[in-house]
């Protein structure tokens, strides 16, 4: 742990959506189109550098890679994320990512990772992994997650990855529809589920699922808050004030940019700390 380690009381915000990216994440057509779509800023990409970036801002970061090969971008190994969290436990909260469509190999890998006792959650990206969340073939994978009592973070909505690339880079947006996740929330009621991103063009569906299912939450990453729908802002400030969480989508969107635009939203002063820190702390079992 670094000598400048933060205490939990020092933390002002928890960013629940931080990508561990390889050094060549911007290479190729997919990476270039994503960087253009998000107007990406220059940021550290080595994991220790990302930890210091967040420490300097008195923030914690839920960090993960994405186990996919459709985009052609490099994939940071889960073990590297877990190791970074061991070096920086004051700021890095490690999630892991395993493509559940890999069948028996996926079950073996998630069992191995969960057995370390260091995994705080799972990241799944149905459009990049190419599956519908309600596919019964992946239910044995969910059984492991529910038994471990850790959250699963699903990408939902539009995908900036592939936007503008020929054929969308092969990414099928239908797998980002959050409605199939409603079935998952019914069948695995003790598995915390986070719907990542404002779920454009299915935002109202995501709000409905989050309202209806106690185990479902929403992270607000992947979009500048100035683009949030009025309905999302209204529910974040009222009925979903304990179920929505700050997320940036680093490095494609920085926490600085997100927080700057969040300041302009009509969110009550007493609700802001819940969105920025309190809701995530409760979900993740932090003090």
pTM: 0.92
Residue 247: the pLDDT is 98
31 pLDDT more than 70: no
Domains of the chain: total: 1
**Residue 1 domain-assigned?**
no
Question: Which tokens hold the place of 143?
Answer: 């059984």
3 pLDDT more than 80: no
Question: Which tokens hold the place of 30?
Answer: 């997919």
**Residue 244 domain-assigned?**
yes
Residue 32: the pLDDT is 56
CATH number of the domain that residue 268 is part of: 3.20.20.140
What tens digit of pLDDT does each residue of 249-280 get? 999 999 999 999 999 999 999 999 999 999 99
40 pLDDT more than 80: no
What tens digit of pLDDT does each residue of 78-111 get? 999 999 999 999 999 999 999 999 999 999 999 9
**Full domain range(s) for residue 279:** 8-283
**Residue 197 domain-assigned?**
yes
At 189, phi and psi to the nearest 5?
A: -70, -15
pLDDT band for position 42 (cuts 50, 70, 90): confident
pLDDT band for position 26 (cuts 50, 70, 90): very low
**Residue 2 domain-assigned?**
no
pLDDT band for position 69 (cuts 50, 70, 90): confident
Cα distance from N-terminal residue to C-terminal residue, the chain: 19
**Residue 28 domain-assigned?**
yes
Residue 287: the pLDDT is 78
**Residue 264 domain-assigned?**
yes
2 pLDDT more than 90: no
Residue 129: the pLDDT is 97
Helices (runs of H) and strands (runs of E) counted in the chain: 12, 8
Q: How is residue 178 annotated by DSSP?
A: S
**Residue 230 domain-assigned?**
yes
Of residues 3 and 68, more confidence is placed in: 68
Residue 43: the pLDDT is 85
Residue 181: the pLDDT is 98
Q: How is residue 100 annotated by DSSP?
A: G
Contact 123, 195 (CB under 8 A): no
Contact 139, 185 (CB under 8 A): no
**Residue 3 domain-assigned?**
no
Question: Which tokens hold the place of 194?
Answer: 């986070």
As a whole number of angstroms, the distance between CA 274 and CA 282 comes to 10
148 pLDDT more than 60: yes
Task: State mean pLDDT over 189-217.
Answer: 98
């Amino acid at each position: 742990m670094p000598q400048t380690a933060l205490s939990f009381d020092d933390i002002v915000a928890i960013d629940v959506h931080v990508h561990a990216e390889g050094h060549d994440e911007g290479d190729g057509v997919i990476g270039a189109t994503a960087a253009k779509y998000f107007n990406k800023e220059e940021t550290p990409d080595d994991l220790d550098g990302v930890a210091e970036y967040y420490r300097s801002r008195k923030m914690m970061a839920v960090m993960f890679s994405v186990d996919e090969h459709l985009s052609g971008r490099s994939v940071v190994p889960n073990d590297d994320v877990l190791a970074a969290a061991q070096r920086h436990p004051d700021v890095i909260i490690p999630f892991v990512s395993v493509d559940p469509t890999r069948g028996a190999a996926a079950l073996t890998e998630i069992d191995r990772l969960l057995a370390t006792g260091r995994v705080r959650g799972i990241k799944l990206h149905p459009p990049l992994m190419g599956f519908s969340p309600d596919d019964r073939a992946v239910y044995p994978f969910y059984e492991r997650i529910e038994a471990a009592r850790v959250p699963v973070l699903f990408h939902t909505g539009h995908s900036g990855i592939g936007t503008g690339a020929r054929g969308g880079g092969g990414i099928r947006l239908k797998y980002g529809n959050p409605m199939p996740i409603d079935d998952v929330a019914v069948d695995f009621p003790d598995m915390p589920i986070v719907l990542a991103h404002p779920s454009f063009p299915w935002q109202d569906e995501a709000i409905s699922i989050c309202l209806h299912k106690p185990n479902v939450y929403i992270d607000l990453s992947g979009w500048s808050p100035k683009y949030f729908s009025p309905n999302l802002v209204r529910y974040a400030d009222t009925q979903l004030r304990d179920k929505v969480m700050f997320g940036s989508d680093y490095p494609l969107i920085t926490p600085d940019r997100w927080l700057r635009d969040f300041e302009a939203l009509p969110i009550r002063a007493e609700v802001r700390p819940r969105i920025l820190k309190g809701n995530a702390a409760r979900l993740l079992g932090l003090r």
